[in-house]
Amino acid sequence: MSTGLSIYISVIVLLNIFGCVWLILWTSKKRAGEASAGEVTGHEWDGLQEYNNPLPRWWLYLFYITIIFALVYLVLYPGLGSWKGILGWSKEKQWQEEVQQAESKYGPIFAQYRDKPIPALLKEPEALAMGKRIFLNYCAVCHGSDARGAPGFPNLTDDEWLWGGTPERIEETITHGRQAMMPSWKATLGEDGVEAVANYVLSLSGRKHDPALAKKGEEKFKTLCVACHGVDGKGNPMLGAPNLTNKSWLYGGSLGVIKKTISEGRKGHMPAHGDFLGKDKVHLVAAYVYSLTHKAE
């Protein structure tokens, strides 16, 4: 916060507080020609007369107490621009203290599974239950509470993995996140080229397509797309390039959606959770995700 903005905020806050004090003092003074306390002011409406009755003392004292409380609060805590308060409180500091308290209490519970391989955790119902609760809190918003995903968010209950489905790769994905990028090919292929390649992609998974267009698209595919998806279209887990020969479609497998993907490209982003969750919790979430497609041996 700049010095000028800090001063501006401080002045506004203090003016409001002292303005309240001045208003009480100003209205409590008797003015010339004004009726004395308890007398009729002369205002009358529909037979009702107005009396000059002062505010109750208890109300005034309560008002003064709130003003004193406000001043004490502003000395102790932040509220006057960049002033941090003599107690040094901040929401970040409070959050860190609460996190440390939680870690000291719950950390050992998560840590007991730290050194157990993920396949071994499939035999630990309590560990999987912990992983599921963490998943529901932090992952369900994208992947769904049933982990079946949605358009643009992978289904974790099948055996199709963009970045690999080994325990190590799953843990790596959760820890560091993933950034996928499918470039736009509209400028390179043109409308007809996009149509042809889309039909060829459909043919790779045995879906209904135009054979003539697919034949034209095959050459373009093998020129532009093989670097990521491979000559056979089975993808590359190291790049997050999907397998185009199965029936699992991240964004949808209709002709229109495939054309949109080829034409405009895609930018998938999986945020990193390693720093946020910590290694032990990541390990448990990875075990739960792995358990969705594997059984204990």
pLDDT of res. 256: 96
Distance, in Å, from the CA atom of 174 to the CA atom of 277, rounded to the nearest integer, reads 9
> What does the pLDDT look like over 206-226, one tens digit per residue?
999 999 999 999 999 999 999
CA 112 from chain center: how many Å? Answer: 29
pLDDT of res. 127: 97
pLDDT of res. 184: 96
In DSSP terms, 241 is beta-bridged to 236
Distance, in Å, from the CA atom of 58 to the CA atom of 155, rounded to the nearest integer, reads 65
Is residue 200 scored above 90 in pLDDT?
yes
Is residue 190 scored above 90 in pLDDT?
yes
pLDDT of res. 71: 95
pLDDT of res. 44: 75
Domains of the chain: 3-23+35-76 (no CATH), 95-179+271-291 (1.10.760.10), 186-267 (1.10.760.10)
Helix 57-76, helix 3-28: angle, nearest 10: 170
> What does the pLDDT look like over 10-27, one tens digit per residue?
999 999 999 999 988 887
In DSSP terms, 179 is beta-bridged to 269
* CB of 163 closer than 8 Å to CB of 178: yes
Number of Cβ within 10 Å of residue 16's Cβ equals: 10
Provide the 3-class DSSP secondary structure of residue 153. strand
* CB of 135 closer than 8 Å to CB of 145: no
Non-local CB neighbours of 280 within 8 Å, separated by 6+ positions: 107, 110, 111, 113, 114
CA 282 from chain center: how many Å? Answer: 17
Rounding to the nearest 10 degrees, give the CA dihedral for residues 282, 288, 289, 291: 140
Is residue 70 scored above 80 in pLDDT?
yes
Distance, in Å, from the CA atom of 154 to the CA atom of 197, rounded to the nearest integer, reads 23
Is residue 51 scored above 90 in pLDDT?
no
Question: Which two three-digit tokens encode residue 239?
Answer: 């790049």
- Global pTM value: 0.74
| pLDDT (mean) for 196-208 | 96
